[in-house]
């Protein structure tokens, strides 16, 4: 099994989060401050260097005004 950061569905989810950040007009630094993480951590999640855990996923969704359940339902996960 490959790491989830290489999964096409994971990458699509992260791309949606990044697009939402940009639509909100937020910088990585601003988002980092809002969720108490560094700008570099935000950047590394957006470039798939760091795996996004569920709690930070939900925090990002709140900041970006996204419904985390709706976004997760769009994921195509192989079992």
Residues of the chain whose pLDDT is less than 70?
A: 1-3, 77-79
Position 64 scores a pLDDT of: 97
- Under a CB-based contact definition with an 8 Å cutoff, are residues 19 and 51 in contact? no
Position 8 scores a pLDDT of: 85
Position 49 scores a pLDDT of: 92
Position 46 scores a pLDDT of: 96
Position 6 scores a pLDDT of: 75
- The CATH code for residues 4-68 is 1.10.260.40
- From the list 59, 76, 77, the residue with the least C-alpha distance to 68 is 59
Residue ranges per structural domain of the chain: 4-68
Position 28 scores a pLDDT of: 98
């Amino acid at each position: 099994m490959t790491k989830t950061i290489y999964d096409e569905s994971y990458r699509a989810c992260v791309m949606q989060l990044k697009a939402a950040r940009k639509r909100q007009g937020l910088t990585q630094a601003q988002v980092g401050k809002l969720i108490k993480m560094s700008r570099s951590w935000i950047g590394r999640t957006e470039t798939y260097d760091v795996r996004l855990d569920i709690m930070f996923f939900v925090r990002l969704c709140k900041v970006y005004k996204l419904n985390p359940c709706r976004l997760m339902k769009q994921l195509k996960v192989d079992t």
